[in-house]
Amino acid sequence: MRSVAALLVLVLFAGGATAAMQPPSEPDAAVLLDFSSSIPENFWRILKAELHQVTVEGLRRDSTLWTKSEKFYEDMQAGDIFQVRLTGDCGMGMEPDRSTPGPLGWVYQIDGKILPFVFVDCDRIARTLRSDLRGQTPAIRRQKLARAISRVIAHEITHIVTQDPDHRVQQAHLSPAELADAWPRATLVTGNGKDAPHEREAHQ
C-alpha cells in the first residue's frame, strides 16, 4: 500500500579560499549557504563572524564549517551537511520596499523526518528589524542584519539536528531584540578583517 508523505513546515516568526589552497580538515558538520542574489564580500565576512558565535544544539562550534555552497570542495567530506537557501536582499540591512508577511525561516518535515534544508527570507528579517536599524550607520545595520540572519539559521538547524518540531529545546518566537542584540562584549566587525573598537557594542 503506497504511503503518502505528510509535509510539515516548521517556521520561525518574529515575536512582538583560493583554488591553490588545500581543503581544511574534515569538519563534523558543514553548513552550505546559497544566496538568491549576490552579496558584498564584506557582508559575507561579517555574517561568517556572526555564524561562528551561534550555538546549535548537537553541533560542536569548533568543528562546524560555515561556507558558501559554491566554495565547498567537491571532494570534501563532512559528518553532516546542511543546506541553507537565503532569499531577498541579504547584504544591505535596508528595509525592503515590499515584503510579504510570513516566517523568517523554515524547514520541512516529511514522513516524520525534518530534512537538512533551511530557508531564510532576508527581506522579512530586515522588515522585522526596521525600527532597530533606522538611523544606524551602514556598518551597524549590516552587523545587526547579519546577527539576525545567523540566529534564524541556527534556530532552524537546531530543528534539524534535534529532530524536534515542537520547540522543546528552544523558544518558538524571537523578538527583534533577541534577533539583533549584541553578544556579550561583542565587537563590531567592519568587513575588512579588522574590528572597530570605537563602535563597540555591548549587551549585558
H or E stretch at 179: helix 176-180
pLDDT, averaged in runs of 10, over the chain (204 residues):
48 54 66 93 94 89 88 71 93 66 91 94 91 87 93 93 77 77 54 40 30
Question: How many distinct structural domains can be found in the chain?
Answer: 1
- 20 domain residue, yes or no: no
Give the tens place of pLDDT for each residue, 33-78.
Answer: 999 999 999 999 999 999 999 988 888 888 888 999 888 776 566 6
- pLDDT at position 74 is 61
- 19 domain residue, yes or no: no
- 204 domain residue, yes or no: no
- 98 domain residue, yes or no: yes
First-to-last C-alpha distance (Å) of the chain: 57
- 144 domain residue, yes or no: yes
- 158 domain residue, yes or no: yes
Q: What is the pTM of this model?
A: 0.77
- 1 domain residue, yes or no: no
Domain coverage including residue 63: 7-14+26-199
